[in-house]
A and B are shown apart, each in its own frame.
Chain A
Amino acid sequence: MTAILFYIFATFLLAASLFVVLNRNPIYSVVALVFAFMNLAAMYFLLEAYFIGILQVLVYAGAIMVLFLFVVMLLNVQPDQPRPGLIHFDRWWYGLMGLIFVGLFLVLIGEGARLLLTSPAGEAVQIGGVDSVGEALFTHFLLPFEIASLLLTVALVGTVFLAKRRV
Chain B
Amino acid sequence: MVVPLYHVLAFAGLLFTIGVLGVLFRRSAIIVFMSVEIMLNAVNLAFIAFSRYHGDVNGQVFVFFIMTLAAAEVAVGLAIIISLYRNLRTSDISEIRLMKH
Contacts and interface: CB of A to CB of B under 8 A. Distances in A.
Contacts of A154: 72
Main SS class of interface, B: helix
A162 B79 contact: yes
Nearest to B94: A88
Nearest to B11: A10
Interface string B60-83: 110111011111111110111111
Contacts, number: 224
Main SS class of interface, A: helix
Contacts of A105: 13, 16, 42-43
A48 to B, nearest CB: 6
Contacts of B25: 21, 87-89
Interface residues of B, number: 76
Contacts of A109: 9, 12-13, 46
Given A17-B19, A52-B63, A102-B13, A162 B76 contact: yes
A68 B30 contact: yes
B96 to A, nearest CB: 12
A3 B8 CA distance: 11
Interface of B: 1-3, 5-9, 11-28, 30-31, 33-35, 37-38, 41-46, 48-58, 60-61, 63-65, 67-76, 78-83, 85-86, 91, 93-94
Across the A-B interface, give the 5 residue pairs with the lowest CB-CB distance, nearest first. A122-B55, A155-B72, A21-B22, A162-B79, A163-B79
Given A52-B63, A59-B71, A155-B73, 12 more contacts: A2-B1, A21-B38, A36-B41, A40-B44, A47-B49, A56-B67, A59-B67, A68-B30, A75-B82, A105-B42, A112-B46, A163-B83
Interface of A: 1-3, 6-7, 10, 13-14, 17-18, 20-21, 26, 29-30, 33, 36-37, 40, 43-44, 46-49, 51-52, 55-56, 59-60, 63-64, 67-68, 71-72, 74-75, 77, 80, 85-89, 94-95, 97-98, 101-102, 105-106, 109-110, 112-113, 116-117, 121-125, 127-128, 132-133, 136-137, 140-141, 144, 148, 151-152, 154-156, 158-159, 162-163, 165
